[in-house]
């Protein structure tokens, strides 16, 4: 099973996306990444785990083991699952401080992602990131 942030890193995603000339091919790759996310246990599909601000339903569960954060996530939309995979590659398996220190805006700029998402998808992506960063901040405080 693929672990985003461990088996698939931000550099892997950036390198692979650079091979594609069209955004249609890039979207297909992002959707394929989402298909590699392990399914979320239905017990975690609760209102408490729902990410507010997303157009689609997105569930995010955080666990800390050995000082590292691990996130499980799922969505009812294929492209959103792919976006979750892109975000998890940045944050999974990192300490709370490294989560907070990671330049997510620089990562998104390198992907040129936000320019190719609808405003509502972009807002949803930022809501996912905020939820992860808030989780990390609570562990650091």
In the chain, where the domains are located: 10-140
Catalytic residues: 54
Compute the distance between CA of residue 72 and CA of residue 44 in angstroms, rounded to an integer. 9
Domain 10-140 belongs to what topology?
A: Sufe protein. Chain: A (3.90.1010)
- Mean pLDDT, residues 25-42 taken together: 94
**Per-residue confidence (pLDDT) for residue 2, from 0 to 100:** 60
Backbone angles phi, psi at 82, to 5 degrees: -65, -40
User: Exposure string (b/e) for 50-89, b if CB count within 10 Å is 16 or more?
Assistant: ebeebebebbbbbeeeeebbbbbbbbebeebbbbbbbbbb
Greater confidence (53 vs 88) lies with: 88
Average model confidence (pLDDT) across the chain: 93
Greater confidence (3 vs 31) lies with: 31
**pLDDT digit string, tens, across residues 87-97:** 999 999 999 99
Residue 141 has pLDDT above 80, yes or no: no
Residue 80 has pLDDT above 70, yes or no: yes
Residue 53 has pLDDT above 80, yes or no: yes
CA-closest candidate to residue 43, choices 3, 74, 69 = 74
Confidence class for position 113, pLDDT limits 50, 70, 90: confident
**Per-residue confidence (pLDDT) for residue 73, from 0 to 100:** 95
Report the residue count for the chain.
141
What share of the chain in percent tops pLDDT 70? 99
**Per-residue confidence (pLDDT) for residue 6, from 0 to 100:** 83
């Amino acid at each position: 099973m693929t672990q985003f942030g461990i088996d698939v890193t931000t550099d892997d995603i950036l390198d692979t996306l650079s091979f594609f000339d069209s955004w249609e091919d890039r979207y297909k790759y992002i959707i394929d990444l989402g298909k590699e996310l392990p399914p979320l246990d239905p017990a975690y599909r609760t209102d408490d785990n729902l990410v507010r601000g997303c157009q689609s339903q997105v569930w995010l569960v955080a666990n800390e083991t050995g000082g590292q954060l691990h996130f499980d996530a799922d969505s009812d939309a294929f492209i959103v699952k792919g976006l979750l995979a892109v975000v998890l590659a940045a944050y999974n398996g990192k300490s709370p401080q490294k989560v907070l220190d990671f330049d997510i805006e620089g990562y998104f700029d390198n992907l040129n992602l936000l320019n190719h998402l609808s405003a509502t998808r972009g807002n949803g992506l930022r809501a996912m990131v905020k939820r992860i960063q808030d989780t990390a901040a609570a562990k650091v405080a």
